[in-house]
Amino acid sequence: MLYRIGFVLFSLIIRGLYGLRVHDAEHVPRSGPCVIAANHDSAWDPPVVGLATPRFVQFMAKRELFRNRAFAAVLQAVGAFPVDRGRNDIGAVKESLRRLEQGGTVGVFFEGTRRAEAKGAMGGAAFLAQRTGAALVPTAIWREGRRFSVRFGEPLHAHGRSRQETVELTQALSDRVRSLLSPDAGSAGYGAGPAA
């Protein structure tokens, strides 16, 4: 019930006040485990990507957001679960794997934090896909003026399990997401949007 209320509320706010354009949603598999791996530009990203994805997406959310009981209840109602970003949170990883193994869809902002271009991509999304055989869907989010846009790429094949293979898959993911954005996104910031 809370999920439906939250979905309708965010839909009214984002679509009504800002606008949302979704590109290539057919690249998101309609069944089976799936990792939606997106760049991260603003606090609006989780609800925007959630609205754009044709499946129920369960996001990791920083543990600090769960300190308020009322807000924690809302987060849990929409499928979010806490992650401690200050360390390797094994519990959050296990929870992600559990949800994927049940055929769910987990959303990961693979850069780890907003405006993380300079820090380089993290390997969590690739790791989860490798361990579960989940479809790894590159996802780009940007803004054109007030309007949000989300573009999905074709799923990447998550092969192997070695550290090097995780690094290579993460690099391929990062490259693919950037290709879904404009050529100058690296210098102008993700908000620049894709080329026409």
pLDDT value, residue 10: 75
In a domain, 52, yes or no: yes
In a domain, 190, yes or no: no
pLDDT value, residue 29: 97
pLDDT value, residue 44: 86
In a domain, 89, yes or no: yes
Number of domains present in the structure of the chain: 1
CB 49: neighbour CB atoms within 10 A?
A: 24
Task: Produce one character per residue of 51-69: b if its CB has 16 or more CB atoms within 10 Å, e if not.
Answer: bbbebebbbbbeeeebeee
In a domain, 69, yes or no: yes
What token pair was written down for 14? 């984002």
**What is d(CA 43, CA 61) in angstroms, rounded to the nearest whole number?**
11
Expressed as residue numbers, the domain containing 130 is: 2-182
pLDDT value, residue 122: 64
What's phi and psi for 148, nearest 5 deg?
Answer: -90, 145
pLDDT value, residue 176: 95
**DSSP state, residue 17:** I
pTM: 0.82
In a domain, 33, yes or no: yes
pLDDT value, residue 129: 96
Task: Show contacts of 115-118: CB within 8 Å, 24+ apart.
Answer: 115/40, 115/41, 115/189, 116/40, 117/186, 117/189, 117/190
CATH number, domain containing residue 75: 3.40.1130.10
In a domain, 193, yes or no: no
**What is d(CA 143, CA 191) in angstroms, rounded to the nearest whole number?**
5
In a domain, 113, yes or no: yes
CB 102: neighbour CB atoms within 10 A?
A: 9
pLDDT value, residue 3: 66
pLDDT value, residue 194: 43
**What is d(CA 96, CA 167) in angstroms, rounded to the nearest whole number?**
19
In a domain, 119, yes or no: yes
Which residue has 């989860």 as its token pair? 128
Q: Mean pLDDT per segment of 10 residues, for the chain of length 196 residues?
A: 70 87 96 95 87 92 82 77 76 92 93 50 85 97 92 93 93 94 46 40
pLDDT value, residue 193: 44
